[in-house]
Amino acid sequence: MSSSQQSVRFEQFFAAPRERVFAWFARPENVGQLFPGRTRRLHPSPDPDHPDGVGAVREVRVGLVRLEETITRYEPPALIEYRVTRGWAIRQHVGCLRFEAVPGGTQLEYVIRFQSRLPFAGGLVAGSLCASWRRGVQRAIERIAVA
């Protein structure tokens, strides 16, 4: 069985303060609006001040597919990193969201890297992530603007 390293990168400007953009992306239910399926917090972080921080586990369900993501780095308002720790046909899946204050708002860089356990599936997953982002990011822009 071969594996294929994949990477997708999203960049987006938000006309809102970095703290507000970070807070929106820190909530699993909000991130779930960008991609298909449903995302929810399964287990909070041990840090009561940051329930979606380091150690929090999120569940992502798309049809019959179920993934668990564990937050591995959480540095408000600059960085969120997570790793898929259970599920489906991908491995070494790491997502990193970096938030930079820029004139007039916030610049987000979101990079997802993973390997596919199934031949050719990596390209399909990467394509699906990109299509979902393009469809969902406008909703995020609108919701963050009124938050």
> What integer pLDDT is reported at residue 89 of this predicted model?
63
**Does pLDDT of 45 surpass 60?**
yes
Where do the DSSP E strands lie in the chain? Answer: 4-14, 38-43, 57-62, 65-75, 79-87, 90-102, 105-116
> What sign does the CA torsion over 15, 13, 25, 137 have?
positive
2-30 residue pLDDT tens: 457 889 999 999 999 999 999 999 999 99
> What integer pLDDT is reported at residue 70 of this predicted model?
97
CB 55 within 8 A of CB 69: no
126-142 residue pLDDT tens: 888 888 898 889 889 99
**Does pLDDT of 1 surpass 60?**
no
Cα–Cα distance measured from residue 96 to residue 82, given in angstroms and rounded to the nearest whole number: 7
Would you state the structure tokens that stand for residue 22, as one six-digit string? 């970070």
Cα–Cα distance measured from residue 122 to residue 115, given in angstroms and rounded to the nearest whole number: 7
Confidence of residue 43 (pLDDT cuts 50, 70, 90): very high
105-133 residue pLDDT tens: 999 999 999 887 777 777 888 888 888 89
**Does pLDDT of 63 surpass 90?**
no
Residue 87, classed as helix, strand or coil, is: strand
Residue 32, φ and ψ in degrees, nearest 5:
-60, -20
Cα–Cα distance measured from residue 98 to residue 80, given in angstroms and rounded to the nearest whole number: 7
